[in-house]
Structure formats: C-alpha cells, structure tokens
Chain A
Amino acid sequence: MTEALDAFRAEVRDWLEANCPEEMRDGGSGEENICWGGKRWQFQSEAQKVWLERMAAKGWTVPTWPKDYGGGGLSRDEDKILQSEMRRIKARSPLQSFGIWMLGPALLHFGTHEQKAHYLPPIARGEVRWCQGYSEPGAGSDLASVQSRAEPRGDHFVVNGQKVWTSYADKADWIFALLRTDKDAPKHKGISFVLIDMSSEGVSTRPIRLISGSSPFCETFFDDVKVPREQVVGEENRGWDVAKYLLTHEREMISGGGGGLLGGRGVGAMLDGADDPVLRAGAMTCEIDALAMGLTLERYKDMAKTGSVGDASAMLKYYGTELNKRRNEVMMLAGGSDALEWDGAHGSLPADWLRSKANSIEGGTSEVMLSIISRRVLGLPA
C-alpha cells in the first residue's frame, strides 16, 4: 500500500515537473489569480490556459471524481499526495468553481447517469461556469420558504421569481436553483433543485454593492423562463434533500480552505511590537483560538474519511467565521488610523474587515448553526 503510494508520488512529481508552467508556480492564490473558467472566461495568460488544459486532461481539476465524468478517479490518499506535491512546487490551483465545490457533489450523489455524463465533464474542463440560486429577499435563514415558482407545463417548467446573493451570476453560464414546484405542499416538500441555462430568455442579473465595496454578489431575476423538466436533480419536490446535502458542503468550505482562516495576514506582523496590553491580549487569544481551530479542521478532515461528520460541521462554520471576524477586528485595532483608508498602508484590510462580517451570515447564520448543533448534535428539544 505504502509502496504503491510512494510510486504514485514519484509519478505525480515527474508529471508536475514536466507539465506545470513556470508562471503557474508562484503560489498565487489571491482572487485576481483564480481561474474560474466558463464560456466567457478570459485567461490571464497562455500559461493559465495551458495549465488548465493539461490538468483537465489528467482529470486532476477534480481529482477524486470518477474518470467517466471527467475526474481523476483518485483515492483520498492519492489526492492528498497530489495536493501536497502541488503545494511543494507552489503550483496554483488550475480551476476553482461552484461547479466543482457544490453542483458536482450534488450531481454525484443525486444525479442520474445521463445528468452526470452531460454536466460534469464540462465543469471538470472549466468550460461551463455555475452559480448558486438559493436565497431570496423573503428566504434567508428560513431558506425553505423560497417563493420563486417553477410551474409545470407539459415537458417544461415556466420559472418566475427573484434570487439574491447569487455570487457571480453575471459571469456564470448556468445556475442551480431552489424553486417551488408545489405551492400547496408543506414548505419543505414542494421545492425542486433545478438547473437553468443563464442565457435563457427571461433571465437577468444585477450586481450588489456591499459595505466593503463591489462584490461578486448579484440579484437574479426570472421572468417567464422556459426550463425543460429533465433539468431537475433528484425527484421533483424533493429538492430540499439536495439543498441540505449541499449546505453541509458549503459550511465546510466556508470554515475551511474557502475562508482562508489560517492563511493570509499574520496578526504578529501587524502588531509590530505594539505594547498596548489590551491589544496584545486580544491578539494572543485570537492566535490561540486560531491554532486550535486549525487543528480541529485537520481532525474533522480525518473524521470525514472514516464516516460522515454530519451536523457537527455546523461547528466548523460557526467557530471559523466568528474567529475570522475577531481576527479582523484585532488587525484593524493594530493598524489604527493607518488602517482606516481604502487601499492605504494596509491594502485591502479595511475591505476584508468589512467583508468578514458577512462570514457569519452567508451559508447559514451563526444563530442557525447554534440551533442545528443544539437540536441535532446535543439532542435538545425543539
């Protein structure tokens, strides 16, 4: 077993050495360096394009997906090796997307063979970019009260309504949305998980400006949009099951790699020898909690390998995001008036600080997380 993995590591190392362009070995993980893919994607450089094509051909943009659907068919151990070898040469991620993080896992779990074969390979190749249509103006924490309608008319639906907080809706090719397909059923039982082509007639988007400045968020409007009925994932009216499954994924993403909890700016560097005891105490506590949270993410990843972490992932989301908010407060305090200026001495810190306030709202608020924990982990009565 170990020998096979060692051989795999050697193979990966050789392949990366031969195929990862020099320009893609700068560890660039900032927003500006992400390759999102999609029909309208403008590659930053020829190297970025080549890197995506080569990785996609190996199936390594989605290493653990089955080979039949554009993945690499790697085991978790092999995937770990691939990730560590990529880190070793500071290789950029070739492709990131909501298709990889969210729709992919949902389709792999709930999709038909035809749906998987049709939708997954273009995600793996970075050809189609997806966005997520969940929240509505009247459906935030109470997500199951979505009102956007998909009315069956023979072999298709007619979709009407509005979604909000749709990240990158203005850049995405397709959207996966929660829509009400039975308005008379109890609210959790009348929702379907529907895939919609954003270029369909009647779909429009409008960007949202946040307190932190411009953002990827949009409002998305559906006005008599025609959608074929076979574009429902899972059973009609059982979309809530798919949504719940995906929300767990989203939580793990926000608290883990996605949130950049442990990377980024170090509190130590910001303090720069400041001797204010209150500031120092805040920074120390933050650091202690961040280190312990980092270990907890590792422990939960290992737990996920042996079984499902399930509702306990709400802890990662709650604790990780609250911690990130605290950390940003400490850094703003450390920066003093130097940190009050947009794009000033501390770069994007003011915008990051403001943006961090959304961490404990998006993907389920901290209060929703605590309710999930109290009922489903601790078994307290509802």
Chain B
Amino acid sequence: MTSLLKTEDETMLADSARGFLDDAAPVSHLRGLRDAGKVHDPALWAQMAEMGWTGVLVPEEAGGADMGHAAAGILAGEMGKTLVCSPFIGTAVIAATALRQVANDRASAALRGIAEGKTIYALAVDEGPKHDPDAAQMEAVADGNGFRISGAKTFVCDGMSADRVLVLARTGEGLTLFDLPTDRDGITRSAMSLVDSRDAARITFDAVAATGDDVLGQVDDAMTVLRPALEAGQAALAAEMGGVAAGAFAMTVEYLKERKQFGVPIGMFQALQHRAAHLWCETEVTASAIAHAGRKLDEDPAQATLAVSLAKARATQTVTLAVQEGVQMHGGIGMTDAFDMGFYMKRARVAAEWLGDYGYHAAIVARLREI
C-alpha cells in the first residue's frame, strides 16, 4: 500500500485548500451563517464546484476530477480545521460513491449534477437516536409497478438544502435504496436546530410514490450500493474530525503560550504541558488511522471496513478530547459564545454521532478482529 505520508500532490492540494478556505470560509463564516439563521452558502458551494471539489469522487467522463478518497479526506480535513459549513460529505462523498456503484445513464447524469455543483444530496438512513442502517424499519410497500413509501427519517444532514435524498427503506425481506427528489409529493421536511448550527432535517414520507427508476441499484439489495457510500462518508467524516481536532488544538497551544497568570504564560505549568502533549500524541496516532482509511478505500475498497471503522472510532475519541481540553485550557473565555472554541465543541459532538458513534465502530472493529 502507498505510504501513509502525504504525496507531493496531496500536500499541494492541502495547501491550496487551506489558502482558499482561510480566505473564503474561516470560522467567522459559520458564525455569520448562524447569526443570519442560514445553514448553507450557495456561493461557497459554487466555488467548491469550480475548483473541482464537488467532483472529487466523480469520474472524469461525468465531468469530475476523480481524485479519490485520500484526496477527499484531505479536503474534508482542511474544512474541519475552520469548521467549513457545506454539504461536501453528504453530496460529494456519500452520494457520489453510491451513484458510482451503479452503471447507468441516470446515475451518470446525477454524478454530473454533483460535479457541476447543481445537485445537493442528503442521506436519509437514521430513524432513531443512534445510527443503525441494518435495522431500518421504514417501509416501501409494493404498489402496482412501483412502491409507496411511508414513515419518517431523522438526522438527515443537509436535508433542508438538498435537492435529492437517498432513502433507505424496507421492501419485503430486504432493504432498498431510493433516490428521490425532495419535492416529490408526500415528502415533508422540517429543520432540526442542531447544536452545531449546521443543516439537518426530519423528513416524513406519506405514501410517497416511487418507481423502479427511483431505485438505486437493485431492489432488496441496498447495501451493495449503500455500504461503500457509508464507508466513504465515514472515512471523510473521520478526516473532517481530525481537522476539527487539529484546529482546536492549534488554538489551545497558541493560548497556552500567550495567556499569562501568576506572572507567567500558563504553558509553563507542567500540569497543562503534559495534557497538551498527551493530546498531541492522540492526534498523531489518529492521523495515521485517517490516512490509512483513505488509502484503503482507494486501493482495496472491498476490504476497507476495518480501516474505516478504526478511523471513525479513533477520530471520535480524539476530537472529543481535543475540544474538551480546548474549552478547559481556555478557561472562562472558552465558555463564551464570542470565542470560537464552542463551535469546535459543538461540531465535534454532532460529528461523533453522525454515521455511527464510537461504540458502533468499536463493535465493528471487535467483530472483524474477533474480540
């Protein structure tokens, strides 16, 4: 397998992404959206499309840049550092990966829409407070040549901005993945006011009509399409969380050097030095797991489950520690809304739950390692 170190191209990608995002989407951008009551910035998304980011996993023949999962992780990581608010993971990673599993003209057209930045996708899988796709209960009942879908989904990230939604529903004995426009009759969306100020929706389906054309992949076989898409999303989310941890950590170390109490910089106190050093070690070890997941998805995708769950589990633990230490070491200022650290803590908590929490992924690692 390719080394876990960044290649020259990857370093350039990271540097150029950083340059763009520091200018276009620093943390103040998220704060601005929140204060304006918005969850999406179409102008930012259009710029990402122009740079080829929305097509990072779209084949070249469908207008994409086809840079692969390691590159998608690098972009997600840079976004995480400044808490960039965009539908990147749901659309450019999860939906693009799902659509790539299907070889037909409709999927190609959908991929083109993603690459061009014209279509935003959301993934509607969760029905309860914990991620568990295999246990989805919402039913799509056979109706003539098609289906009628009824039920409710929750925690649909980017659900309010989305043009289309990938919906997981039970059909007979199996699960089927549907690709539906969000304006289909019978679909009702309501916004969740998430702590991280990002877009998420509850979606109800009231006898929504779906045809065979709306099925992505095969009926009763959602996982052939959905599993790779979920794994791609989990790896990218882990990378974003690595970025969130790195961003929070960098702020914290700077503060330890600047803030003076008892006449000295508080970074002189060994109690804080050792905690900061320990946290740095955690971020380093997690960075390896994140890089490995990207490489594995690019080079051996059928065997990537362990690598992906390892990355998501580690990233969840590390980012949680990073934001908790971030607030504590900043003291009172860390608790204020005027200071950015709180945004990091909120995003970390939402990302920890999305696409499976620590326990969910730890159980997958344990199963695959026969523990």
Contact = CB atoms under 8 A, between A and B. Distances in A.
Contacts of A119: none
Contacts of A374: 267, 273-274, 276-277
B273 A284 contact: no
A87 to B, nearest CB: 17
A302 to B, nearest CB: 5
A273 B270 CA distance: 43
A295 B253 CA distance: 26
Given A296-B288, A374-B273, A318 B4 contact: no
A371 interface: yes
A380 B371 contact: no
Interface string B253-271: 1001100000011011010
B310 A381 contact: no
B284 interface: yes
B273 A280 contact: no
A302 B3 contact: yes
Given A295-B289, A380-B253, A284 B365 contact: yes
A333 interface: no
B268 A380 contact: yes
Contact of A288 (B4, B274, B310): B310
A287 B285 contact: no
Interface in B228-274: 253, 256-257, 264-265, 267-268, 270, 273-274
A168 to B, nearest CB: 31
Nearest to B369: A287
A283 B367 CA distance: 12
A262 interface: no
Given A287-B365, A381-B268, A271 B257 contact: no
Interface in B312-339: 313-314
Instruction: Kindly name the residue among A292, A302, A373, A377 whose own CB sees the greatest number of chain B CB atoms within 10 A.
Output: A292
Nearest to B295: A295
Instruction: Kindly name the residue among B278, B285, B366 whose own CB sees the greatest number of chain A CB atoms within 10 A.
Output: B285
Interface in A284-328: 284-285, 287-289, 291-293, 295-296, 298-299, 302-303, 306, 312, 315, 318-319
Nearest to A299: B4
B280 interface: yes
A288 B313 contact: yes
B285 A370 contact: no
A379 B265 CA distance: 12
Interface residues of A, number: 38
Interface bracket on B: 35 or more
A289 B285 contact: yes
B288 A371 contact: no
Interface in A103-161: none
Contacts of A18: none
Contacts of A379: 253, 257
A197 B86 CA distance: 68
B70 to A, nearest CB: 13
A378 B253 contact: yes
Contact of A373 (B4, B277, B289): B277
A311 to B, nearest CB: 11
Contacts of B370: 268
A370 B4 contact: no
A289 B3 CA distance: 20
A382 interface: yes
B44 interface: no
Contacts of B274: 367, 370-371, 374
Interface string B272-294: 01101110110011111101100
A267 interface: yes
A280 B286 contact: no
Contacts of B291: 295, 299
A34 B366 CA distance: 33
B280 A373 contact: yes
Contact of A370 (B3, B264, B278): B278
Nearest to A315: B281
Contacts of B65: none
B4 A283 contact: no
A372 to B, nearest CB: 8
B283 to A, nearest CB: 10
Nearest to A281: B362
Contacts of A302: 3-5
A284 B371 contact: yes
A291 B5 contact: no
Contacts of A283: 366, 371
B277 A371 contact: yes
B244 to A, nearest CB: 18
Contacts of B366: 280, 283-284, 287
Contact of B256 (A280, A292, A380): A380
B109 interface: no
Contacts of A367: 274
B365 A291 contact: yes
Instruction: Kindly name the residue among B291, B306, B365, B369 whose own CB sees the greatest number of chain A CB atoms within 10 A.
Output: B369
B370 to A, nearest CB: 5
Given A288-B313, A373-B281, 14 more contacts: A284-B371, A285-B362, A288-B310, A289-B314, A295-B4, A295-B291, A302-B5, A315-B284, A318-B277, A318-B278, A379-B253, A379-B257, A380-B267, A380-B268
8 contacts: A267-B371, A283-B366, A283-B371, A291-B369, A302-B3, A371-B273, A374-B273, A374-B277
Q: Which 8 interchain pairs have the tightest Cβ spacing?
A: A374-B273, A373-B277, A295-B288, A380-B267, A296-B288, A370-B277, A299-B4, A370-B274
Interface of B: 3-5, 253, 256-257, 264-265, 267-268, 270, 273-274, 276-278, 280-281, 284-289, 291-292, 306, 310, 313-314, 362-363, 365-366, 369-371
